[in-house]
Amino acid sequence: MDFLLNLFSEETINQIKEILAVYGLKVIAAIAIFIVGKIIAKLVKAGIAKTMAKAGSDPILISFTTNMVYAALLAFIIIAALGQLGIQTTSFIAILGAAGLAIGLALQGSLANFAAGVLMIILRPFKQGDFIEGGGVSGVVEEVRIFNTIMRTGDNKTIIIPNGSLMNDNIINYSSKPTRRLDLVIGIGYDDDIKKAKNVLNELMQHDDRILKDPAPVIGLLELADSSVNFAVRPWVKSADYWGVHFDLLESIKLRFDKDGISIPYPQQDLHLHNSPCEK
């Protein structure tokens, strides 16, 4: 302590004490504003989410709105903390505005993703839990964030896709309707009985309770192909039963056709060899 007293003059020590007395409290107050403000912002975010959930709002809308509100409150808290330190927030806001304009020009893609996110919330082409295809990927929608959308694939991979890429592409929503139609093509041999095969297909669909009676399944002769006679088999099912019926119906058709002697041909070519007399 004596070394410090000898190192600094009494006047310098007094100046340091004055600075700590003035700015020390301001720094503590600024830190307190930031910490308390952040806690309040989280509580406000949770309160808005709870209120919107009770009102039956879509989870995607809840997530997007609460994230926006939290970001705005956090920006306000930071400005308030800086003001407590004596920084002129008016000039600071002006600087932020100019910097924001420059950053906005440099980050046009991010702003486009933000705008696309807002449009998705307004237009609502899908909701949380829907299985969609768009932007070259497909999966279940988990969350729409400010700049990107989180999706989960069937093998439990996470896809993070920019909102702009998703909004600027065709979006196929497989979950928007309660029912879906299976489009199967079943081929039989040219020597097989067409009516018998058609009756078997109709019987298999009638015995599956997951296949809807209204609209009724459709079985029609689709084409006379090169090596098979192809039927269009188009039953309607609930969207949740789509893949289960798809797998089970194909298996049932193969087993029943084998049992009843109905062939399922595969592409083949017949080679005809002709003997020609050797030239002398």
Q: What is the pLDDT of residues 187-198, one digit of tens each?
A: 999 999 999 999
Note whether 161 and 191 are same-domain residues.
Answer: no
Is residue 275, in this structure, part of any structural domain at all? no
In this prediction, residue 211 carries a pLDDT of: 94
Confidence of residue 94 (pLDDT cuts 50, 70, 90): low
pLDDT in tens, 128-140: 889 999 888 899 9
CATH of the domain at 240: 3.30.70.100
Residues 39, 64 within the same domain: yes
- pLDDT, position 8: 52
Percentage of the residues of the chain whose pLDDT score is greater than 90? 34
| 7 and 89 together in one domain | yes
158 within a domain of the structure (yes/no)? yes
**C-alpha–C-alpha distance, residues 106 and 267, integer Å:** 56
Residue 29 covered by a domain: yes
Q: Is the peptide bond before 125 cis (omega within 30 degrees of 0)?
A: no
Tell me if 115 is assigned to some domain: no
pTM of the model: 0.59
Same domain assignment for residues 184 and 158: no
Which of 47, 72, 106 is where one domain is finished?
Answer: 106
- Domain contains 21: yes
Rounded Cα distance between 13 and 18, Å, is 9
Q: What is the pLDDT of residues 222-264, one digit of tens each?
A: 999 888 999 999 999 999 899 999 999 999 999 999 999 999 8
- Say if 113 falls within a structural domain: no
User: Per-residue pLDDT for 171 more than 70?
Assistant: yes
Query: What's residue 72's pLDDT?
Result: 80
- Which of the given ranges, 22-26, 166-170, 231-235, 273-277, has the highest pLDDT on average? 231-235
Query: Looking at the predicted structure, is the pLDDT value of residue 2 above 80?
Result: no
Which domain CATH number covers 161? 2.30.30.60
Predicted local distance difference test score (pLDDT) of residue 251: 95
Contact 247, 182 (CB under 8 A): no
Strands (E), the chain: 131-134, 137-144, 148-152, 158-162, 172-173, 179-181, 184-188, 218-224, 229-234, 236-238
Q: Is the pLDDT of residue 1 over 80?
A: no
Domain stop point among 54, 77, 106: 106
Count of domains forming the chain: 3
pLDDT of residue 11: 62
CB proximity list for 257: less than 8 A, separation 6 or greater = 188, 197, 200, 263, 264
Considering the domain architecture, whether residues 139 and 153 belong to the same structural domain is answered as: yes
Strand 179-181 to strand 184-188: parallel, antiparallel, or no bridges (unpaired)? unpaired
Give dist(CA 213, CA 198) in Å, integer: 17
Domain coverage including residue 93: 2-106
Q: pLDDT at residue 10 above 80?
A: no
Domain of residue 67, CATH code: 1.10.287.1260
Q: For position 88, what pLDDT does the model report?
A: 62
Q: Is the pLDDT of residue 147 over 70?
A: yes
